[in-house]
Structure 1
Amino acid sequence: MFKGKGKLGKSISLVLASSVVLTALPVANAAGSSSTLAPYKLTMYYPGSPAKDEAKIEAQMNSYLKTKINASIDLIPIDWGQWDSKMNLLKASREPMDIIFTAQWNGHANDVAKKVFLALDDPNGPAGNLLAQYGKNITSSLDPAFLAGSKVNGHNYGVPTNKELAAQGGVIYRADIADKLGLTSKLNAVKTVKDLEAILATVKAKTNMTPLFLRDGDNFNSHYFAQQDFLGDTTIEGLIRKDGTSTKVITRFDDKQYMDQLKLTREFFKKGYINKDAATTQLSGQDALKKGNVFMIVASLKPGKDAETAIAANLAGKLKQINMTERTVSTGETAGSMLGISTTSKNPARAMMFINLLHSDKYLNNLLNFGIEGEHYTKISAEIIKPGPKAANYNPGATWMFGNQFLNYVWNTEASNKWAAFKNFNRGAKLSPALGFTFNAQPVKTQVAALVTVRNKYIAGLETGAIDPSKAAEFQKKEKANGLDKVIAEKQKQLNAFLAAKK
């Protein structure tokens, strides 16, 4: 079973030892009849590629939402490669926005310090306790571990997706190409990144494909692969290892395993195994596979991630995954996918009503995730679906972002026991020594902002192999000149206080 102590660890242990298959709950009635609410148009920003039939999905959602909460929705997907830059501009300019995707690996704690998101459970806050008033289906269906683990300075600034809790790094590859090249047995024997070298060399020599596609955030040095717990926000330097026992806060460059991985990735890059634009590409790994000229990507894995990715990439039955790291749980997993409400929202209550529906309304949840029945998908049974005649026109492949994933239908190319497999995946995972702790960046927000700027200049190149690891020393020197020691000390101080309170 799970290792670790404290109320949060016990909560996670209990929920992951039980069944994770949930049923749809009735819509909360806290807002009263939709007829008593004034019409309101919501905006929802999230990373992803715009779809051809997006307007049709919106129209269907709007018709349904009118009867539920007298609202309409403007879906605003932004390509992964442009997500950070565009959203940072929108946040800085105080653009009116309602719902925004957020995650600990995407600068959540830093955004909270910048007052981008509303506290959702603060009765004394500007919007009141939105979760208590309009999120009753969220709090009744979402295990308390998610909300407890994703708090920043005592409050929730995002509603976590109800999904798997454990994390595991690995790769997803083209199994059909591997079979043709006679690589299947070698791939089945892979245990370490070094084991991939001969396989990637064969792909380079015998095909015109990119052997290994890497990008900023998805590489062998990403937090989920390197087993690093950045204590609530991967954009802020200072970590402990999830798979260890030490609670001493260090920098990534003090982690020998991380530095060794940098060197190996650099070797792969110089040998031509990795895409040359790895440090700057705007493609997601999923979209790279979809183009058809990529053999392998690095990904955060879960049961059936290969089948799920294959559907989204139009490669059904052609992908397989290799699990390459220990399964771990940190605060980052509880806050790894959330929907927050912007402090610029003109109607936070209606935004929370919508998020509440995504956690409880099976029809709306599946409409957003899979499109219109008979067009984008067709049913084989009550819970199993297959692609419809217009599947290519709407297939966001983002079920892990929206509400309650256990309300989702299962594709016919996925395991029919998918949700039971999630339970088994979580069981026995290693708990980070800092589980439940989220760093509050407010006391050092000036230094954090400066460090994030420095990080953005170097990290993508280093972690994808495009820059020699010798540059790490230069990177750390610039970090120290911009307040690194103060941030590390503040993280250590807050973590020590958290751990002391648990005893």
Structure 2
Amino acid sequence: MRKKLFVSKSVWKSWFVLLAAVIMLAGCSTGKGNEGNKSSQTEGSSTPSQTEKKTDTDEKVTLRWVFPGPGKQKDSEEVWAAFNEKLKEYLPNTTVSFEVYPVAEYADNWRLLAASGEAIDLAWMGYVQDVAAEINKGSYMALDDLLDSESPITKQLPDWLMNLAKFDGKQYGIPNFQNVADVRMGIRIPKEFVDKGYIDPAEAEQIFTQYGVNSKEAYDVIEQYLANLKEKDELRLGASTFSFNWAPGDRHGSLGAPFTLRGDFKDADSLRVVNIYDTPEMKLMYDTAADWFKKGYIRKDILSVQNPRTDEGKPDGYVYWIHNVSADQANFDSERYGFPIEVIPMEQEDYITRPIYNTMTGITRTSKHPERAMQLLELMHTKEGKELYNLLVWGLEGKHYKKVSDDRIETIGYAGQGTADANYGLWKWVMGNTANSYETQADPAGFNEMWQKLNEEAIKSPVLEFKPNSEPVKTEIAQVQAVVKEYSASLQSGALPDHEKQYADFVEKMKKAGSDKVVQEYQRQLEQFISTQK
């Protein structure tokens, strides 16, 4: 923690006498010794000089860091040992003990760790948890006293990003900088079907952008395309049902599934809390899925397919699927999937709207070394620690990746992000500032510059700092989520013969579980928040 030091005049006089003695002793040093000290810092070296390093690292400490990812891998210990060795150049007398849990198990493991009261220094928090509830019960400490105007984090990360991790005006985490814009959606289609005239990209884009992704007009365009394919006996596996996730979506700010905001994100007063599953858009989506299943546009075995998304981007797979759109997306997807892909944008504007930021790292209330923990966070989130960050995320060059250029690599044994069976590879969006990450074969060229520009230009919600307190309705939220788990996937498949009744039962059970109470409580909190911003 940085503190200003105030000293009396008498003490200053004593210090000047001591300083003079030190200077005299330094003058007696041999020229050889001085040259040795000078040569230890090579010009242009990326290793920080002693004056740049933090000075309060005399005590030997081990920082404990817990986070989600692929789980412990074959070469984890080797890479972590290399990281700790390299860390000595930045933070002397500091070692990090890493604990990585599979993401599906992270929330349960965190609850056990938090309940035990064990000393933990750094912990990830994000979308698998109720972050606001964790902060309200004191699991994390406020970081404001550790973050002054001289912190590289304060200087290098944008204010709007840092504000995403503020609760009641206090900073409780360092957001992991990445693309946080609600990126525009785009429909992917094998280009051969465009060339055959089964869909007109310009006409489709005009209708998508005019009426919206989750409109009857948009579904009609896609259905005509599917009908053309069926007539020509080229339907393959038909429509990807995962694409229906994007239709009603929570593009306008998740409050913790299934609750979200709807309205004009340029006008705070227009925003309303809804249960996403109890909306006309969701009803339209389920009706469309059921209709398409009956017409044969959705594969008959859909209910037995464990992961339907695996057939997206296969030559004999789905004839369309929907996902994010970035610059040069068609060329990137064509290279990625190995055959020509046409990408048709479905939206025109980009927003940053999510009130609860999905991924950040905080210092826990049980930390015995918060100052040192903050110093490590500074390295993981700023350009000074770029080399350390990439070592931790990607592992050892030649063993876990091949260097293509200064900022681009090819990972070995996986693509995208590390898997449980990979020798090594953590998830870059968990560990720190992804602007410092190498680009990989899973990224289009210039990806880091692309998403940073997108973040900067995106329309930012006026309620980014709104984080609802779930405590008054935590029981209802848990009950509603259990109902969602029971119904949502089967309704989305379109394969239920009585989908109308199933949907009605779904909504009724959510209401009995307390969904309306959650909506009312969150709406009250939202209106209270908006009133304080005026």
TM norm. shorter chain > 0.5? yes
Counterpart residue number, 1:88: 107
Counterpart residue number, 2:275: 251
Q: In structure 2, give the amino acid aligned to 1:137.
A: P
Question: 2-side partners of 1:332 and 1:39: how far apart?
Answer: 35
Shift of residue 494, structure 1, vs aligned partner:
1.7
Question: 1-side partners of 2:372 and 2:379: how far apart?
Answer: 11
Question: 2-side partners of 1:208 and 1:112: how far apart?
Answer: 47
Question: 2-side partners of 1:280 and 1:446: how far apart?
Answer: 32
Counterpart residue number, 1:220: 247
Question: 2-side partners of 1:462 and 1:342: how far apart?
Answer: 40
Question: 2-side partners of 1:395 and 1:327: how far apart?
Answer: 37
Question: 1-side partners of 2:523 and 2:516: how far apart?
Answer: 10
Counterpart residue number, 1:329: 351
Counterpart residue number, 1:474: 505
Counterpart residue number, 2:298: 273
Question: 2-side partners of 1:278 and 1:355: how far apart?
Answer: 44
1:162-181 to structure 2, matched below 5 A, reads 162-171=177-186, 173=188, 178-179=191-192
Q: Does 1:364 align with 2:388?
A: yes
Q: In structure 2, give the amino acid aligned to 1:481.
A: K
Q: CA RMSD in A?
A: 4.6
Q: In structure 2, give the amino acid aligned to 1:214.
A: F
1:131-210 to structure 2, matched below 5 A, reads 131=147, 136-171=151-186, 173=188, 178-179=191-192, 182=195, 186=199, 188-189=201-202, 190-191=204-205, 192=208, 194=219, 195-197=221-223, 202=229, 206=234
Question: 2-side partners of 1:25 and 1:367: how far apart?
Answer: 14
Shift of residue 223, structure 1, vs aligned partner:
1.4
Question: 1-side partners of 2:425 and 2:321: how far apart?
Answer: 18
After superposition, the C-alpha distances for 1:291-310 in whole angstroms (9 at most, x for unaligned) are 98754554344446778889
After superposition, the C-alpha distances for 1:24-69 in whole angstroms (9 at most, x for unaligned) are 99799786465523234433223x4776654544343233235444
Question: 1-side partners of 2:263 and 2:47: how far apart?
Answer: 38
1:80-479 to structure 2, matched below 5 A, reads 83=104, 86-94=105-113, 99-103=122-126, 105-109=127-131, 111-112=133-134, 115=137, 117-121=139-143, 129-131=145-147, 136-171=151-186, 173=188, 178-179=191-192, 182=195, 186=199, 188-189=201-202, 190-191=204-205, 192=208, 194=219, 195-197=221-223, 202=229, 206=234, 211-212=239-240, 214=242, 218-224=245-251, 228-230=252-254, 233-235=255-257, 237=259, 239-241=261-263, 245=267, 246-253=270-277, 255-269=279-293, 271=296, 273=298, 281=306, 294-295=317-318, 297-303=321-327, 315=337, 321-332=343-354, 335-341=357-363, 351-360=373-382, 361-383=385-407, 385-387=408-410, 393=422, 398-411=427-440, 416-422=445-451, 424-426=453-455, 429-432=458-461, 434-463=463-492, 465=494, 468=499, 470-479=501-510
1:35-54 to structure 2, matched below 5 A, reads 36-46=59-69, 48=70, 53-54=75-76
Q: In structure 2, give the amino acid aligned to 1:138.
A: I
Query: SS of 1:481's equivalent?
Result: helix
Shift of residue 501, structure 1, vs aligned partner:
1.9
Query: SS of 1:74's equivalent?
Result: strand
Q: In structure 1, give the amino acid aligned to 2:87.
A: L
Counterpart residue number, 1:6: none
Cα gap change, 1:456 to 1:316, in 2 (>3 Å)? same
Counterpart residue number, 2:30: none
Asked whether the 8 Å contact 1:168–1:300 carries over to 2, the reply is yes
Query: SS of 2:388's equivalent?
Result: helix
Shift of residue 138, structure 1, vs aligned partner:
2.4
Q: In structure 1, give the amino acid aligned to 2:513.
A: N
**Counterpart selection for 1:65 from 87, 96, 113:** 87
Q: In structure 1, give the amino acid aligned to 2:183.
A: Q
Counterpart residue number, 2:212: none
Question: 2-side partners of 1:389 and 1:406: how far apart?
Answer: 21
**Runs of 5+ consecutive residues of structure 2 not aligned to the other structure:** 1-45, 209-217, 416-421
Question: 2-side partners of 1:211 and 1:416: how far apart?
Answer: 29
Query: SS of 2:166's equivalent?
Result: coil
Between the two proteins, what is the percent identity of the paired residues? 22
Question: 2-side partners of 1:318 and 1:347: how far apart?
Answer: 53
Q: In structure 1, give the amino acid aligned to 2:100.
A: I
Q: In structure 2, give the amino acid aligned to 1:36.
A: E
Query: SS of 1:437's equivalent?
Result: coil
Shift of residue 363, structure 1, vs aligned partner:
0.9
Cα gap change, 1:78 to 1:111, in 2 (>3 Å)? farther
Query: SS of 1:167's equivalent?
Result: coil
Question: 1-side partners of 2:399 and 2:340: how far apart?
Answer: 24
Cα gap change, 1:93 to 1:411, in 2 (>3 Å)? closer
Asked whether the 8 Å contact 2:226–2:297 carries over to 1, the reply is no
Question: 2-side partners of 1:170 and 1:327: how far apart?
Answer: 10
After superposition, the C-alpha distances for 1:315-372 in whole angstroms (9 at most, x for unaligned) are 5787675432343434417713323455666766555444332212111222344333
Question: 2-side partners of 1:114 and 1:278: how far apart?
Answer: 40
359-368 or 27-36, which moves further after superposition? 27-36
Counterpart residue number, 1:76: 100
Question: 1-side partners of 2:132 and 2:501: how far apart?
Answer: 28
